[in-house]
Structure 1
Amino acid sequence: MATLDQILIDLDSESETEDLVLLYSLSRKRKKSKRSAYLGARSTRGEFLLTEEVPDNVFSGCFRLNRMQFDEVHKLIKSDITGRECNAQKPMRSEEKLAVCLRYLATGDMFKTIAASYRMGERTVSNIVSQVCDALWLRLQPIYMPTPSKELWEDVSLQFERKWQLYNCVGAIDGKHICIRKPIHSGSSFYNYKQYFSVVLMATVDAHYRFTTIDVGSMGRFSDGNVFFNSRLGTMLHNGSLELPDSKPLPGQNEVTPYVFVGDEAFPLMPNLMRPYPKLRVTNNFANKVFNYRLSRGRQTVECSFGILSTRFRVYKRPFECKLETIDKIIKATTVLHNYLRTKVVQSNSVEEDDELMTTHSDSNLVPLQQNRIRGSRQAFLIREKFKDCFSSAQGSVEWQRRAVENGHY
């Protein structure tokens, strides 16, 4: 079929050419004005206008931030997401960009449905989510997830000792598979042992359910050992560059014991990483059961953190359908927003809301890593024995541990 340009070339009559050009221009104008009328109503009929009218509880439910927190976060990232005027048109308001991104993170709706509600293009929503997530990580990370230091680890250890009676502990560690749509031309690189496509989020948390370190983006096909050892935390633990505090004796002991992370069976036993005794070692062994119970008390903080994260930000409730680089940005943004909100809860001593969020749901796309069968070193076994002896001693025991073990909590 001939194009309009070809028809114009073939025409001899100037009048016929002018008529066709006029019809073509009018048709283009009609199409453009029809589309502009829909998108142009964003400032008068878009969903963002409703945010000024809805009650505070509805506002918090839609964006996971109350109005005061929304304004505080907006001030931090405003300079990074404010657009420039183009073709005499005013740029989209930075508050609206933040609202669109938070709406996506809080609900997990498709870009298409959010675009229809806010009267903007689907590609525009995608670009806004990427831009705002970048800004959230850039501005909030130095404040609410700072680079680990010796002072930070000492503070985390003090938290675990006071709140969970776990000594020389600098954090709980765990990794989760996050379900994604199969990336184009990726083959089976992201296909995990649960038989779906995923990326891995490896994280450590403190005693108040705040993330201290995260590692994002490992392919789901990698085994648990590969994911851990190739993560930044695993590399630093292996080469001793994590700047952990100097070793100190456990209660009731004279020999020094290093500071450790606590994890589940997905992680190897290392001098700075403790895991539970296997099931065969706890049968008819009360001291080993006590160790597993005390370890699980501290380790459950990371499980609760993931539970709060996926319940608060329901974008984790369905497979991600974005580009891989956008998925990494979303995960980083949600974890640092989680820390921001948890810090507010800790400062206000308010736990009612997060107690409800700690309940994990079966439809969450955060699935544990596969169990690890790598045998630990002799030094790591000796360190675990020290912790076991401490937990069973008069100085290191807690009054409820016997009752808990007798009830099967180990």
Structure 2
Amino acid sequence: MLEYLDSLSASESDSDAELETILLYLRKSKKKKKPNSEYLKKRNTHGEFSLNKELCDERFINYFRLNREEFKEVHTLIQPIIHSEGCNAQKPIGTEEKLEVFLRYLASGDSYKSIAHSYRMGDRTVSKIVNEVSRAIWKTIQPMYLPQPTEEMWISIASDFETIWNFPHCVGAIEGKHVVIKKPNKSGSLHYNYKGDLSIVLMAAVDAKYKFTFIEVGPMGRFSDGSIFSICELEKKMAGGSLHLPSPSEIPNSENIFPYVFVADEGFPLQINVMRPYPRRSVMQNFENKVFNDRLSRARQTAECAFGILASRFRVFRRPFENKVTSVVDIVKAACVLHNYLRRNSTVTSDIGQNESNENLSSEQLVQIQRNLSRSLNAAFSVRKIFTEYFNSVGSVPWQEESVSLRHN
């Protein structure tokens, strides 16, 4: 064929139309797809999507982490976005099957190839579906179940923390976790964290009922200490006064003015609106400081419980992500939004973890961020001091002395 084309181009009497026809034929023949294997052709009859229709309700929940009604509701929300109308495929993959593929990936953490094998589709197709559905879930569900915070919302959260966890004027527990990933191409040491893993950081604020009120995904794992929080959007809004936190006010039976605060561990700097525990040297012989640390730790465990429930429900967090970083960000955001959606009717008691699917986090995933060693302002120390005095006077609770004794003995 090539020799024939060369002869055509060399001849002055050749027709240009004939040459163009042959070239067009060659281009079309190159683009012609290989026929699907017999295995892929049986997707509609033997694929997992077809077989899952036989699942009982209990197995359906275990398989996808949503019950059938929740599946239908989420599907209704994202269907217009992931609909495949107008695609080139003769039999485009349906929207319900796409949602199933994504939820199965979250629930199991299996590789794309494993899921592609069971659903009888290509692994690249699975990759595209996961990316498409994760973005659709964030776009449609985030405004309802992870909205921008308002002053009324903060006041409601503070009321829950006071009622359930005995920490007044607390508007959330802040926590940061390293989400372990596979090394991106040409990334150098950007994603290496202090434990030697490659990761991106998931920064979150959690309310009294284990729901996320703020998430930010993406800072590279090499950032540690205060640098992670300092570049976080939550801290920027807090410093700029655009977080809509309520104005400081009195707490009943106390004459002091208390700001509304987040609680955090040693990985965060002590600030006027961020309370962290006293360091070990300050609690060795100081019972009042021990009481403060105990009360703060009790409220702060809501964040640990939220991450534990997230990793227990969606086992994709139990192994390193092998996706591109941009895809990991979308998947993590979608998982956090679904976590909030599934907790919309959940109740919480003061018994931490009671009746919750909360498991200990894997040592290889959702790793704790490194401790913070930055200096704090004197005003922040003063705020912590008035909370300490309150917890050891009019704000004391009957069980705190026994709790401190158990924790420190």
Q: TM-score, normalised by structure 1?
A: 0.90
Does structure 1 residue 339 correspond to structure 2 residue 340?
yes
- The letter for the 2-side match of 1:399 is P
- 1:183 matched to 2:184? The reply is yes
Aligned 1:3-402 pairs, distance under 5 A: 5-6=1-2, 32-33=34-35, 35-87=36-88, 89-346=90-347, 355-393=355-393, 395-402=394-401
Shift of 1:362: 3.4
List per-residue Cα deviations over 1:69-107 (Å, max 9, x = no partner).
111111111111110144572321100000000000111
- Counterpart CA distance in 2 for 1:284 and 1:235 is 36
Kept after mapping to 2: 8 A contact 1:202/1:214: yes
Q: Any conservation in 1 of the 2:270–2:380 contact (CA below 8 Å)?
A: yes
State the 1:249 CA deviation: 1.5
Q: Deviations over 1:21-65 (max 9, x none)?
A: xxx9xx9999933x2533221111110012110111111111100
Going from structure 1 to structure 2, the CA distance change for 1:334 and 1:31 (only over 3 Å counts) comes to closer
Deviation at 1:406, TM superposition (A): 1.0
- Residues 179 and 201 in structure 2, CA contact (< 8 A), matched pair in contact too: yes
Give the RMSD, CA atoms, in angstroms: 2.4
> Whole-Å Cα distance in 2 between the matches of residues 352 and 72 of structure 1?
30
Pairwise CA distance, 1:238? 1.8
Paired AA for residue 320 in structure 1: F
Q: Tell me how far apart the structure 2 counterparts of residues 371 and 292 of structure 1 sit (CA, whole Å).
A: 16
Partner of 1:18: none
Distance 1:409 1:158, change over 3 A: farther
Aligned residue type for 1:403: E
Letter in 2 for 1:115: A
SS at match of 1:32: coil
Give the Cα separation in 1 of the matches to 2:132 and 2:375.
44
List runs of 5+ in structure 1 lacking aligned partners.
13-23
Please report how far the alpha carbon of residue 345 of structure 1 lies from its aligned counterpart in structure 2 after TM superposition: 2.4
SS of 1:62's equivalent? Answer: helix
Q: Which residue matches 1:19?
A: none
Q: Equivalents in 1 of 2:305, 2:4: separation in Å?
A: 69
- Distance of aligned partners of 1:396 and 1:359 in 2 relative to their CA distance in 1, 3 Å threshold: same
Does the 8 Å CA contact 2:82/2:132 hold for their aligned counterparts?
yes
Task: For 1:32, give the aligned amino acid.
Answer: K
CA distance in 2, matches of 1:143, 1:39: 38
2:406 matched residue in structure 1:
407
Q: Distance in 1 between matches of 2:408 and 2:91?
A: 61
Distance in 2 (CA, whole Å) between partners of 1:237 and 1:224 is 18
2: CA distance, partners of 1:354 / 1:345 = 12
Q: Decide which moves more: 48-57 or 383-392.
A: 48-57
Question: 2:17 maps to what in 1?
Answer: none
Residues 310 and 364 in structure 1, CA contact (< 8 A), matched pair in contact too: no
CA contact 2:225–2:373 (8 Å) conserved in 1: no
Correspondence for 1:20: none
CA contact (8 A) 1:244 1:259 kept: yes
* SS in structure 1 at match of 2:201: strand
Task: Note closer, same or farther for the CA distance 1:9–1:46 as it changes in structure 2 (3 Å cut).
Answer: same
* Residue identity opposite 2:371 in structure 1: Q
Give the TM-score normalised by the residue count of structure 2.
0.90
How far off its partner does 1:380 sit?
0.5
Determine if contact 1:262/1:274 at 8 Å carries over to the other structure: yes
* Number of residue equivalences: 389
Q: How has the CA–CA distance of structure 1 residues 255 and 180 changed in structure 2, closer, same or farther, with 3 Å as cutoff?
A: same
Which SS does the other structure have where 1:344 is aligned? coil
1:345 partner SS: coil
What is the rounded CA distance, in whole Å, between the counterparts of 1:257 and 1:339 in structure 2? 29
Provide the secondary structure at the position in 2 that maps to 1:72.
helix
- Distance (Å, rounded) in 1 between the aligned partners of 2:119 and 2:354: 30
Check 1:46–1:189 CA distance in 2 against 1; reply closer, same or farther (3 A cut): same
**8 A contact 1:171–1:261 mirrored in 2:** yes
> Matches of 2:352 and 2:275 in 1, distance apart?
31
Q: CA shift at 1:254, angstroms?
A: 1.2
Q: 1:258 to 1:86 in 2, by over 3 A?
A: closer
Counterparts of 1:95 and 1:47, CA distance in 2:
12
Distance 1:292 1:38, change over 3 A: same
Number of the residue aligned with 2:12: none
Q: 2: distance between equivalents of 1:249 and 1:356? A: 34
Residues 108 and 315 in structure 1, CA contact (< 8 A), matched pair in contact too: yes
Matching residue's letter, 1:63: F
- CA distance, structure 1, for counterparts of residue 150 and residue 32 of structure 2: 61
Q: Distance in 2 between matches of 1:31 and 1:379?
A: 68
CA distance 1:172–1:103, change in 2 (3 Å): same
Letter in 2 for 1:112: K
